[in-house]
Amino acid sequence: EPEVTQTPSHQVTQMGQEVILRCVPISNHLYFYWYRQILGQKVEFLVSFYNNEISEKSEIFDDQFSVERPDGSNFTLKIRSTKLEDSAMYFCASSLLGGNTIYFGEGSWLTVV
Amino acid sequence: SQQGEEDPQALSIQEGENATMNCSYKTSINNLQWYRQNSGRGLVHLILIRSNEREKHSGRLRVTLDTSKKSSSLLITASRAADTASYFCATDTGANSKLTFGKGITLSVRP
């Protein structure tokens, strides 16, 4: 069964460093998302991406965050200057169409020290 | 309270019993989806129910949706130890499909 794949599974970074989290969405999907889950808390929406542009973003997704689809398969989340509070599990997700099932990857654990 | 609130927050049952988990939400929705998350792992999609549907089945799972009460329930029949996980409901309100998650229910199934 097709799946969303994410790398790395776990990354430890120094505060202030840049981090890029990578995702390969399901191949024929058109909508892409990033969510995050701080340990012990609910899953929070960060950003949605469709037709090569951001379609919606949350208040969390401030200027230090950016997303890119550099080629036909990858979808990346960049955090420019990491803060301690960015420590969380980051999930990439995709769906074929808006209003359809959204499939999530296994997540990337980010620990900022 | 917030969109997608589940209850109970924790549920412990014996293997073989049925588990019922509830979710309430505040605003009108397009779809409601249930997900399972094993500790430290990804979100596994279980079932999607649309606002014009009242009930859906998938294997041992049964989901109901009552839009008049803004609530949904997930029933797992004949539970197994492997069903031990956190369960989340998530709603979307339109074509953009941004999901709003609840805090989740921790289900423990004792062998």
Cα separation, A2 vs B71, in Å, equals 31
Task: Give the residue from chain B lying closest to A48, CA to CA.
Answer: B98
Contact B91, B97 (CB under 8 A): no
B6 has a chain A CB within 8 A of its CB: no
Contact A107 B42 (CB under 8 A): yes
What pLDDT score does A2 carry? Answer: 77
**pLDDT higher than 50, residue B71:** yes
Contact A99, A31 (CB under 8 A): no
pLDDT tens-digit profile of B13-70?
A: 999 999 999 999 998 999 999 999 998 889 999 999 999 999 999 999 999 999 999 9
pLDDT-based confidence at B96, cuts 50/70/90? Answer: low
Contact A99 B88 (CB under 8 A): no
pLDDT tens-digit profile of B81-93?
A: 999 999 999 999 8
All residues of chain A having their beta carbon less than 8 Å from the beta carbon of residue B31 are 99
pLDDT-based confidence at B95, cuts 50/70/90? Answer: low
**pLDDT higher than 80, residue B6:** no
Task: Give the residue from chain B lying closest to A6, CA to CA.
Answer: B42
**pLDDT higher than 80, residue B4:** no
Size of interface A-B (CB pairs under 8 A): 63
What pLDDT score does B103 carry? Answer: 87
Contact A35 B90 (CB under 8 A): no
Task: Give the residue from chain A lying closest to B45, CA to CA.
Answer: A103
**pLDDT higher than 80, residue B72:** yes
Cα separation, B45 vs A104, in Å, equals 8
- CB neighbour burial string for A26-63, b if at least 16 within 10 angstroms, e if fewer: beebebbbbbbbeeeebbbbbbbbbeeeebbbbeebee
Contact A7, A26 (CB under 8 A): no
How many angstroms separate the CA of residue A71 from the nearest CA in chain B? 22
pLDDT tens digits, chain A, 113 residues: what are they? 779 999 999 999 999 999 999 999 999 999 999 999 999 888 999 999 998 999 999 999 999 999 999 887 899 999 999 999 999 999 999 999 877 899 999 999 999 99
What pLDDT score does A44 carry? Answer: 95
B75 has a chain A CB within 8 A of its CB: no
Which one, of B102, B77, B76, lies nearest residue B91 by Cα? B102
What pLDDT score does B2 carry? Answer: 40
Chain A stretch 70-109, residues whose beta carbon is closer than 8 A to a beta carbon of chain B: 89, 91, 93, 95, 98-107, 109
**Residue B82, φ and ψ in degrees, nearest 5:** -70, -10
A56 has a chain B CB within 8 A of its CB: yes
From the list B30, B41, B104, which residue is nearest A99 (CB)? B30
